[in-house]
Structure 1
């Protein structure tokens, strides 16, 4: 199998396992937190070369469940009001919270959702922000990320 076909296979596996290629998820975090890929790797507790391999599809998965848990934690912190607003102190605190966390994944704390589609994201969004904050975040994202802004609005108004 050629390297190119290996990468394509790994990216397909990432879509299946994680919902999308990990490179897309990581790039959003780098932009949202205004940090380098190497800084993100340090926050997640993974080596920069390993993160690069996962992002490029040369590796299919993040093998350490704690690293994956930190990635999800950081994705959730993107929606904290101060982070959305670009407040440097809020961004620094969010990164430090994740860096210093010691998540464990077990049968009692594995987040499992049976809600279909985007409705699965609504409880998580509501957990980190009030409806007014979700609306404000949507307004900030409208120009560059209209689909995400729509998701936030639907989460804010969903019953």
Structure 2
């Protein structure tokens, strides 16, 4: 019974941290690339047993940020025309490129707190320009890009 509670807790943590259980994400990749879990583990740079533990909820997280970055790379490449069409050569090329990648992971490459994205953008704009510059840029953009102009105005008002 205790192990079941741990698994449920871990799956809840995965939903919080990754948006959904990692098992769901992994299964979609296995289907999309038509590979085994062991092959996917190799591409991600994680052991097959570790991937199995993460998928089942016996482990809550992927400890290596580069492994998570490779998973995101694979998820994004599913949308490329050749992979989406199921072309074996495109799939094989995507898998090799991701496996051989050495992603650099930082706060700029992986979202840390998506809920704060707008506040982060406002803060960054304030770091880049003074209120007068932000207001001027908003005036220039207002006609064609009202949403961007609004963001610039809000950044200017709070600086």
User: TM-score, normalization: structure 2?
Assistant: 0.69
Query: Residue in 2 aligned with 1:67?
Result: 67
Query: Residue in 1 aligned with 2:124?
Result: none
Determine helix, strand or coil for the equivalent of 1:61: coil
**How big is the shift at 1:107?**
3.3
Query: Residue in 2 aligned with 1:38?
Result: 38
**CA shift digits 1:44-91 (9 cap, x unpaired):** 000000000000000000000000000000000100100110100000
- Partners in 2 of 1:32 and 1:88 — Cα distance? 11
The answer on 1:21 being equivalent to 2:21 is: yes
Query: Residue in 2 aligned with 1:142?
Result: none
- Which structure has the greater CA radius of gyration? 2
**How big is the shift at 1:104?**
1.3
Which consecutive unaligned segments of at least 5 residues does structure 1 have?
116-159
- Partners in 2 of 1:107 and 1:17 — Cα distance? 15
User: TM-score, normalization: structure 1?
Assistant: 0.69
Query: Residue in 2 aligned with 1:119?
Result: none
Query: Residue in 1 aligned with 2:148?
Result: none
Query: Residue in 2 aligned with 1:104?
Result: 104
Query: Residue in 2 aligned with 1:5?
Result: 5
Structure 1's consecutive aligned runs of 4 or more residues displaced over 2 angstroms after TM superposition are: 107-115
- Partners in 2 of 1:95 and 1:42 — Cα distance? 10
**How big is the shift at 1:111?**
4.3
